[in-house]
Amino acid sequence: MAITSLFLFLVVFIVLSYWDISVYRSWPTTGLFACSSVRSNPNSISPPSKPDIKRLSKIWDSLHTLFDEHSPRPSTLPRETFSSGSTDFPPIEVIKQHLKIPESEANATRVRHADLLRQIAAYPRNLFSGRGVVMLAGGHYSEFAATALGMLREVRSKLPVEVWMKDDTEEKEGWCGELEKEGMVCRRLSDYMDMSALKHPYTWKVFTMLFSSFKEFIFLDADNMPMKNPDYLFDSKPYRDTGAILWPDYWRSTGSPWLPYVIGISDEPSDLLLSRDQKTVESGQMVWDKQRHWKSLCLAAYYNYYGPNYYYTLISQAWAGWGDKDTFPMALEAMKEDYYEVPHTIDTLFVNGTIHGIGMIQADPANYTTRTPLFLHANIVKWSVRDFLCVGCPSEDPKSAGPSFLENPGSTIHSHLKEARRVYSTIQFEGSGLDPEPMLWKCMEHTACRSVWGNEQLCQQTRDHMAKTFGFQFKASHVATVTGFGELMCAVDP
């Protein structure tokens, strides 16, 4: 009788003790001693299966040889900015006259380019499968990725994820193991190719897409975060119709008139791209079907392979956006493949109470008539809990060493962190039903308190800011404490 009574008492005690941590309304209860959350993988999302690295490496060997045999002429273009020095969009006549390429060299590159298109192999069968998210991280960018990947799970995405890095030197010890528990896996480009051929980081993105095990994927930059579940994009009409969705950047093309001629979309030097009322592309997010757009993906890889020396300059003439971003639409156009460019312009996100731009809001492509937010590309102030709140912390990456925003009075968000105020203005989200900042701080708290990136001081600072700014509460699991499992603090929604 005494044993039975004791047992019943313990059961009641455990239930009552656990009650505090089960009140997190948006997190389903899945365990007794852990903080039950979407971060505990309640949908049992499995990491992507291991790809056929040997076969993919052979494909790259063939492409590498093909690319080397079809190098542009000249091999290097001068990267010279427009002489006016103004940040205003250059006049069309200035753009047309800027880059000097001898006609003989343009003709030679055009011939090589056309021959390359004929020799790109067809889509490789039985190599890629399924749908997922591809992200390029590594080094300091992995800290931004920790927040972005958290947001992916916070908005209830069920897609598996591949997190790519250059090589093992860019991996944070222990982080990849954490990712696997959330249906994510780390990949290294160096396992597939000799990275000495690709010295500029801008060239790496397209190869994560090329080598990814997914047949269909959403690519996200490490500082780009969905504000609602993006899984539906694969079933949206723009994607079903075309197999590729691209988002606009701020400005129109500044490409050389030689560009459409060289890539074969015009029979002579032309201002075709300059005369369009169409923006250039912002490649922080893309949706892509490899089966429908394999050849254009290979061609984009070619443009990036020769990007720093030739194609980046041919495409932008060293003005804003020099890099990989417009290699993707140019490849699709050169291959005469359809794609969908979201018609809604970027909405700039501002620091709360200021006119300082801090990020970009990209729209939902499924909503044709009204701009509704989908992605938050934090291209100016990137969300790393260490960069935001660390005081006296050593930098994980010597190249990015410096004070945190909280430590730096010159930071545009220093006073917001010091005085426990919102970082983002909410004006751009009015009427959308979205408020990404509390979710972002949940992701930061997870990183600070339950990840290899965090520490006790950083964890407490993050929780203090969340409590003061948004009204979050943090309650202990008495069960875990009393039974010797340690003190687990679980967030409670404001």
pLDDT confidence of 88, banded at 50, 70, 90? Answer: confident
pLDDT in the model for residue 274: 82
- The percent of residues above 70 in pLDDT, for the chain, comes to 88
What's the rounded Cα separation, in Å, for the pair 38 and 110? 51
The residue-averaged pLDDT of 166-183 equals 95
Distances (CA, A) of 34 to 39, 223, 442, 455: 11, 28, 16, 18
Give 331-335's long-range contacts (Cβ < 8 A, gap of 24+): 331/296, 331/297, 331/299, 331/300, 331/302, 331/303, 332/244, 332/293, 332/296, 333/263, 333/265, 334/113, 334/117, 334/263, 334/264, 334/265, 334/296, 334/299, 335/117, 335/293, 335/295, 335/296, 335/299
pTM of this structure: 0.90
**39-53, 191-205, 326-340: the lowest-pLDDT one:** 39-53
pLDDT for residue 141 is more than 70 = yes
Average pLDDT of the chain, as a whole number: 89
pLDDT confidence of 10, banded at 50, 70, 90? Answer: very low
pLDDT for residue 36 is more than 80 = no
pLDDT confidence of 396, banded at 50, 70, 90? Answer: low
pLDDT confidence of 14, banded at 50, 70, 90? Answer: very low
pLDDT confidence of 272, banded at 50, 70, 90? Answer: confident
Angle between helices 436-450 and 141-154 (to 10 degrees): 120
pLDDT in the model for residue 28: 33
Sheet containing 184-188, strands listed edge to edge, beginning at the edge strand earlier in sequence = 184-188, 161-165, 131-136, 216-221, 279-289, 244-252, 340-341
